[in-house]
Structure 1
Amino acid sequence: MPRCDREERWCGRRNSGVGDAGHHMNIPFDRRNLFQSLLGWAGLRRFLPPAGVASAAAAMPSPSDAGRRPGAAGGYILEGKEEVVRRDFDVVVIGGGIAGTCAAIAAARNGTRTALVHERSMLGGNSSSEVRLYPEVSCNHNVWCKETGILDEIHTEERVRNHEPYVEGLMNSVWDLVLYEWVLREKDLTLFLNTTVREVEMKDPSTILAVHGVQLGTEKKFLFTAPLFVDATGDGVIGYRAGAEHRWGMEARSEFNEPAAPDQPSDQPQMGNTLFFRARDAGAPVPFKAPPWIATFPAEADLVGRNHSDFTRGYWWIEVGLPMHQIRDNEEIKHEALRQLLGVWDHIKNRCAQRDKARNYGLDFVSFWPYKREARRITGDYLLTQHDCNNPRTHPDAIGFGCWYVDIHKPGGILARSRPNTKPSWEDAGVIPYAIPLRACYSKNVTNLLMAGRPISTTYAAFSSTRVLRTGATVGQGVGIAAALCRRHGCLPRELAANHAAELRHTLLRQDCYVPGYANEDPEDLARGAAVTASSEAPLEFREGDKLYPLAMPAAQIFPVSGGRIDAVELLLVSGRDDAVEIRAGLRQAEFVYDFRATTDLATATATVPPRWRGYVRFAFHQTVEPRKMYWIHLPPIPGVSWARFDDIFDAPSLSPAGCTAAERPGPTRWHPITRGTHFVMRIDPAQRPYGPENLVSGSNRPDRWPNLYVSGSLPAWVEVRLARRSTFNTVQLTFDTDINRHTRQALFRYPDCVKRYDILAPDGSGWRRLAGDDDNYFRRRVHTFDPVTADRLRIEIQETNGAAAARVYELRVYNS
């Protein structure tokens, strides 16, 4: 596709439009016929003269008609009062929430001239400081699933700068500023804030030609043209106005056999919108006089099931939707949510049994822009269903992933006081990380329209998982990269998915995205196939802790096996029973570090736990296994017996072994991973060493089918990479560890496991010459470029981390860019 960066401006031109060639042209029209039509629409046709009778004024146009056009109410509008600006781009992203922002940055980074058009005055959408929904903590519900790429860059920088904790309702302008800065860094990205898109201009039924926008405060109208458009509006506005096929409401269970779907279909989706507030301690009593128009909650029973003990930051459950329409009735919903919010605050200040605790607190912020959950879902070539979330498959055109549970809120929100929203069981709502294909991210019938964020192609049940901010951000980055590749190949998204999926995956993985089921196969990466050695490496070790997990339900743990045998597994068990108990353990293989779907044991072993016992119990399996694979051991419920567990200290260096996952099975079939850095205590015979330097070139930058992490035995440490052949290179890419298993909430925080001080060196005669490095790093992904070097080796020397006692590095790549 040709590169476009033309700008045209014009003022005072009547009847402007855009032809197929993209040029301004005048379109004549019959002013009297239009006026008659408008009067008829307004019910005023009786004031028109009879047919065939023309007034003198109508027969002889007045010079004063110049610069006027008919208004919809029957009058006229003066033209030439606004500047009209035309801007042509390679891709136009409409919507500057976290999905649209990541899409625009990704497209621009890959050489595509990009416009980001956003109707608010700051970026971030639901996550911005005017709404204050933080990008949700996915790792609360799943393991080894933290979203990386552009979102991780932004999150990491924001935590370093922000003096407030990372908590729902407390997002502030530091977040806004980091988003703004990340956009400004991209030379190929132009930002249009306070610009709302009102119209979509079609070239033909399957092609968008342009979108028309109006900018608040500048008296400008914009005409944006491009070969490709991205709908990141949340509501699916662009797709809807372009005539794209879309879904709204809930499908019946019978349509796709989805467990979470209702028995009957409904054109009324049931999740609502939320307003947040912020309260601060004023150091002195702050009275609250309730306005007469707000809701009232006289007693605790009026807030049953709605925890309001922390009254500093608002609540997601102040949610209003049905019976109103979540898009058309947005203003009515906002007003009702405001009534409910102030009613809750009145309860906290004046009626709550614990109101003395809030005596000195006053409202510091109340949002007037709702956090939306619902969306039109634009239909693509692939429709993601709940089955994709519960039992994922690999997709060759995958561009992102999801890991939030199937989270359908109960209808009515806070208006249904007697029915608080309760989290569904993991058996019903649990997922494992699943791929989202490009085919679900472009319109089926409007061929140059991509989607990012909430409007992607899903059923309602799947949407309840994909709708969250972090999933939107990963999909946004993938869509932006796809748009750039479409420009490179001069093709549409459908053709890219069919013909260039491998290149799409290579680019995604190189730019720190996760494509479930696929590893690095980039032919340009010179480090593929390299031999890697290191100064030291850490063994697999399950540290002992002082916590116990009572075996009231089945429990299990996934672990990596580097060798070809599992002779025995020793579990640290504690029995409070007065009698000995025999336990039968099973051993199974896992496809991924989070995958407990296997139902067949490779082997079983039986052992006896003595009465009143605390110690290791040996289960002898004597099983030959595939090396460099994941396996898991599971136990049945055993009354009176516990399995020792270890929990990482939140925001401290991780001591729980990478790639190992503890789990419980609360229902009949679905295992629930225990999150936030927990493991059960065990020992494996023979000892395993899964954290060697060869992981740097294993093809992945996170735990998936293997831990894929190099962990040194001590600091300082070095790794040496011997390339397959002597090569010329000028770029080294490193992926460090910013804790793929946990999000931080801490203010002014750096991930302690991340490498801080390091050098990249190449051989120089009898020694080593420094090519690049950093003395104060805190980012996960670093790309260093330097003058070309020809060598068959390079070395990474790591002197210091941001707090951990060992170096942790996921991936090393080498390029001659």
Structure 2
Amino acid sequence: MSINRRGFMGRIALAAGALGPWTPKSLLADETSHPTLESASPAARQHHEHDPASSRKKGYIRPNTIQIVQQSYDLIVVGGGISGVCAAISAARNGMHVALVHERSMLGGNSSSEVRLYPEETCGFSTWVKEAGILEEMSVEERARNWEPSIEGLMNSQWDLVLYEWARRENKLHLLLNTTMREVEMKDESHILAIHAAQLGTEKGFILDAPLFVDASGDGVLGYRAGAAFRWGCEARSEYGEHLAPAEHNENLMGNTLFFRARDTGKPIEFKRPEWAATFDTEADLTHRGHGFIEGGYWWIEVGHPLHPIRDNEEIRDEALRQLLGVWDHIKNHCTESDIRERARSYALEFVGFWPYKRESRRVIGDSVLTEKDIRMPSVRPDDIAYGAWGVDIHVSGGIETRQTEPYPDPRSDANFAERGTIPYGIPLRACYSKNIHNLLTAGRPISASYVAFASSRVLPTGAIVGQGVGVAAALCKQYACEPSVIARDHAFELQQILLRQDASIPGVVNADKNDLARSAQATSSSNARLSFPESDAFHAAALPLGQLFPVSTNQLDSVELLLHSKAQTPTTVKLSLWKAQSVWDLRPTKVLTTSSATVQPQQRGYVSFPLNFHAEPGSLYFIQIGANPEIAWSLYTDKMGVPSLVPAGTTPADDPGGSMCRPLTRGKSFAMRVTPEQRPYTAQNVVTGTNRPDRWTNIFKSDPKQALPAWIELNWQKPARFNQIQLTFDTDLNRRTSLPMFRNPDCVKSYTIAVLQHGGWKTVVVEKDNYARRRVHTIEPTTADKIRVSIYETNGAMQARIYEVRVYNEERA
């Protein structure tokens, strides 16, 4: 649709005249005094962001000589953080012509080298939960290329380059950097027609129209200017019945952070505090603020309430700089911890952020609102498109300037987990579009959530996978010529199946793609691994009840043996309970199925047997737990970064700090135990009947590590199948997010071939010698065959082959 720019400006002028005089104070009240804003028209909002005409000095206005470029797309994404990047790439891959409009010079938003917040470690909150899909593609590539570790404050431009390359690789994606959205033009009160933008450097203006838009701006700017209903601040506890919400609505938003980067120069470097910088003369001024990692800056250099995160952005930056330099002065000149002060002598600031990492702003309200119950006691919804896994992470109001005397309320701590811990929860499409602007989707921070739920969903990796889901939803809107709400109502199953095929994960949703020929095949392999738990000399004291979730492949559990250490001087009776688990994440106790007890001798260090004699359900997850006893400890293994993982897939160790669920012990851990009879939960059939990660089962094939590579798996059909595409999903360790430089995951398959059986002979159709990606899609010439064989010759370091999923399709070619 062509757009009449003169008509658009005329409508703004007409609206401005109708509104009459105003003051900046009225705008402040309009935006921040109410939890929901729904009434103001787009034109009114645009007018309120300009100086009042009555206050302007009269003078000659030069004619507008800026070049105006008008372009039409299928989808326009505003905001190039990782949620916007994933949304734009996802939509382009699914057939849409997309414009990605980003106001900065590099992509990545908070994760870019301009801000340097790395994609947070959701793996610290649950097991087997690292986000896959487009985010994992880019993360794996960045680690393989980057010679520096991935740590807050240390992010460099390699991440920017990977994001830029991934966007540029999509021929249907038009990237507009240095381009700020200025105005929103409405088709009617509930549909956006176009955005108006200005590009720094080229002096061009853009009028970009599309039938669909995505607000991935972080601040909800597109939704706000279009008149979308949104929330601001904390709802009252009574509104959604949220225990963690305040008694009354307030606007005590979390603050914004500036990071720094310091380098070891090899010689003493003096630092003189600028007069305008803050002072931290004693350790008491930094109460509960760890500052031993001096190479990179800290999330807690955070400035917020009572400053407004949008209106006061420049003031926040100035104050955060003042605080940052004061912290650095403390480290260099006043720190009483001698090891820190001594190390810091030769360090100098290399980078100081000038664009704050923003935590929160507007939340656009959709047809569904995520609440505390949804993230702590989740259920499966038919239109879930992504998941969240972070705890309820509400920062102290006021940030660093509060100088609080109590520790930061870490959701993972013993004191807070019972109230702030979460179970990986689905995020529905109905929470990812505006309820009153019908062609507006959202991704990242602006999705529809209460303040409490937002404190979990706001993190970068969650925003990225929501972005991928929204991109596919937009493509289906184009396919069915409908609005997002119709996709949520009528096409959610199709949406979910496309996402699973493209390496997304949705809790409780499994592969049911009728076009996947692999689902009807029988899978066999050269070998498969038994369930084996590694041992460790590190013992975890049972100050709290301890437990281990594990897969069972047999119909009988005779006994379990636990590697225990007793510090007691007398014999100690240890009691054990067994219950069934719904998933590797869901550690809510269920009905106790059986109990057992055993005596641990004084100072004993070894395996202790607990008889069970229990009739089990094969293909299920079970959880054992021992009671609290600080004199008893259980051997706890922790995977070492950079070497193959020894933690069995589909297992979760946990403790129980009290409350309604146990707390997973994360980042690659397992308690040492033995199960009788021997369990074989890693057979080849997992690659065609499971999902693409451990959830309700192990869902992975592992070859026997005692048998040298090569290893193989075969898919066998009862009658010949015709196909032209084979998709493989390998293991890049969903239990941990690595920070190592120049890293390729050792568990990922490196060298493999794919062969097809035709007329009694094998024909090789794919040869790969240097893979390190999780998902590979191979298009071959149309083939009819009885069997497919995937042969693994080498990994990037492990002794066994691992494959999560194999899919086979007969795709129509354009």
Is the pair's TM-score, using the shorter chain for normalization, greater than 0.5?
yes
Letter in 1 for 2:384: A
Alignment of structure 1 residues 240-251 onto 2, 5 Å: 240-251=224-235
Aligned pair partner of 1:463 in 431, 447, 454 = 454
**CA displacement at 1:453 relative to structure 2:** 0.1
Whole-Å Cα distance in 2 between the matches of residues 253 and 40 of structure 1? 34
- Partner of 1:528: helix, strand, or coil? helix
**CA displacement at 1:224 relative to structure 2:** 0.9
Distance 1:663 1:27, change over 3 A: closer
Determine whether 1:739 maps to 2:733.
yes
**CA displacement at 1:681 relative to structure 2:** 1.2
**CA displacement at 1:261 relative to structure 2:** 1.1
Whole-Å Cα distance in 1 between the matches of residues 12 and 90 of structure 2? 43
Whole-Å Cα distance in 2 between the matches of residues 802 and 144 of structure 1? 20
Determine whether 1:332 maps to 2:332.
no
Whole-Å Cα distance in 1 between the matches of residues 260 and 553 of structure 2? 51
- Partner of 2:306: helix, strand, or coil? coil
Whole-Å Cα distance in 2 between the matches of residues 806 and 738 of structure 1? 13
User: For residues 794-816 of structure 1, what are the alpha-carbon distances to aligned partners after superposition, in whole Å with 9 as ceiling and x for unaligned?
Assistant: 10000000000000100000001
- Partner of 2:273: helix, strand, or coil? coil
Alpha carbons 2:542, 2:627 under 8 Å: kept: yes
Determine whether 1:684 maps to 2:666.
no
Aligned pair partner of 2:7 in 17, 23, 35 = 17
Residue of structure 2 in register with 1:112 after alignment = 96
Whole-Å Cα distance in 2 between the matches of residues 39 and 585 of structure 1? 73
Letter in 2 for 1:317: W
Aligned pair partner of 2:182 in 198, 202, 207 = 198
Whole-Å Cα distance in 1 between the matches of residues 637 and 116 of structure 2? 34
- Partner of 2:86: helix, strand, or coil? helix
Letter in 2 for 1:253: R
Letter in 2 for 1:414: I
Alpha carbons 1:248, 1:269 under 8 Å: kept: no
Residue of structure 2 in register with 1:572 after alignment = 563
Determine whether 1:507 maps to 2:498.
yes
Whole-Å Cα distance in 2 between the matches of residues 804 and 404 of structure 1? 30
Aligned pair partner of 1:421 in 408, 420, 437 = 408
User: For residues 343-401 of structure 1, what are the alpha-carbon distances to aligned partners after superposition, in whole Å with 9 as ceiling and x for unaligned?
Assistant: 11111222222433212211111110000001201100000011111111101111110
User: For residues 487-516 of structure 1, what are the alpha-carbon distances to aligned partners after superposition, in whole Å with 9 as ceiling and x for unaligned?
Assistant: 111111000010001110110000000011
Letter in 2 for 1:803: G
Aligned pair partner of 2:579 in 583, 588, 602 = 588
Residue of structure 2 in register with 1:388 after alignment = 374
Aligned pair partner of 1:658 in 644, 649, 661 = 649
Distance 1:539 1:365, change over 3 A: same
Whole-Å Cα distance in 1 between the matches of residues 329 and 135 of structure 2? 37
Residue of structure 1 in register with 2:395 after alignment = 409
Alignment of structure 1 residues 804-815 onto 2, 5 Å: 804-815=798-809
Distance 1:693 1:269, change over 3 A: same
Determine whether 1:516 maps to 2:507.
yes
Letter in 2 for 1:126: N
Residue of structure 2 in register with 1:50 after alignment = none
Distance 1:770 1:338, change over 3 A: same
Whole-Å Cα distance in 2 between the matches of residues 169 and 211 of structure 1? 34
**CA displacement at 1:300 relative to structure 2:** 1.6
**CA displacement at 1:284 relative to structure 2:** 2.2
Aligned pair partner of 1:168 in 152, 157, 163 = 152
- Partner of 2:592: helix, strand, or coil? coil
User: For residues 714-764 of structure 1, what are the alpha-carbon distances to aligned partners after superposition, in whole Å with 9 as ceiling and x for unaligned?
Assistant: 311011101253121110000000001011110000000000000010124
Whole-Å Cα distance in 2 between the matches of residues 567 and 227 of structure 1? 62
Residue of structure 1 in register with 2:46 after alignment = none
**CA displacement at 1:146 relative to structure 2:** 0.3
Determine whether 1:473 maps to 2:483.
no
Letter in 2 for 1:249: G
**CA displacement at 1:482 relative to structure 2:** 0.6
Distance 1:35 1:522, change over 3 A: closer
| Structure 1: runs of 5+ lacking an equivalent | 19-25, 43-68
Letter in 1 for 2:463: G
Alpha carbons 2:521, 2:716 under 8 Å: kept: yes
Whole-Å Cα distance in 2 between the matches of residues 390 and 686 of structure 1? 35
Alignment of structure 1 residues 272-671 onto 2, 5 Å: 272-353=255-336, 354=338, 355-419=341-405, 421-424=408-411, 425-671=416-662
Letter in 1 for 2:801: A
Alpha carbons 1:648, 1:655 under 8 Å: kept: yes
User: For residues 751-796 of structure 1, what are the alpha-carbon distances to aligned partners after superposition, in whole Å with 9 as ceiling and x for unaligned?
Assistant: 0000000001012444311111310000000000011111121100
Residue of structure 1 in register with 2:49 after alignment = none
Determine whether 1:768 maps to 2:759.
no
* Larger displacement relative to structure 2 (110-119 or 293-302): 293-302
Determine whether 1:145 maps to 2:129.
yes
Q: What number of residue pairs does the alignment pair up?
A: 772
Alpha carbons 2:522, 2:716 under 8 Å: kept: yes
Whole-Å Cα distance in 1 between the matches of residues 725 and 736 of structure 2? 30
Letter in 1 for 2:603: R
User: For residues 581-622 of structure 1, what are the alpha-carbon distances to aligned partners after superposition, in whole Å with 9 as ceiling and x for unaligned?
Assistant: 222211101110121113320111222222332222222222
Determine whether 1:792 maps to 2:786.
yes
Whole-Å Cα distance in 1 between the matches of residues 247 and 305 of structure 2? 19
- Partner of 1:17: helix, strand, or coil? helix
User: For residues 466-496 of structure 1, what are the alpha-carbon distances to aligned partners after superposition, in whole Å with 9 as ceiling and x for unaligned?
Assistant: 0000000010000011101111111110000
Whole-Å Cα distance in 1 between the matches of residues 483 and 383 of structure 2? 14
Letter in 2 for 1:466: S
Q: Which has the larger radius of gyration?
A: 1
Whole-Å Cα distance in 2 between the matches of residues 30 and 106 of structure 1? 38
* Larger displacement relative to structure 2 (760-769 or 406-415): 760-769
Alpha carbons 1:71, 1:77 under 8 Å: kept: no
Alpha carbons 2:589, 2:661 under 8 Å: kept: no
Letter in 2 for 1:676: R
Percent identical pairs in the alignment equals 55
Determine whether 1:700 maps to 2:683.
no
TM-score normalised per structure 2: 0.92
Whole-Å Cα distance in 2 between the matches of residues 319 and 672 of structure 1? 28
Aligned pair partner of 2:59 in 64, 75, 86 = 75
Residue of structure 2 in register with 1:271 after alignment = 254
**CA displacement at 1:36 relative to structure 2:** 13
Whole-Å Cα distance in 1 between the matches of residues 12 and 478 of structure 2? 37
Whole-Å Cα distance in 2 between the matches of residues 216 and 38 of structure 1? 32
Alpha carbons 2:690, 2:697 under 8 Å: kept: no
**CA displacement at 1:27 relative to structure 2:** 5.5
Distance 1:363 1:274, change over 3 A: same
Whole-Å Cα distance in 2 between the matches of residues 270 and 95 of structure 1? 21
Letter in 2 for 1:172: N
Aligned pair partner of 2:664 in 657, 664, 673 = 673
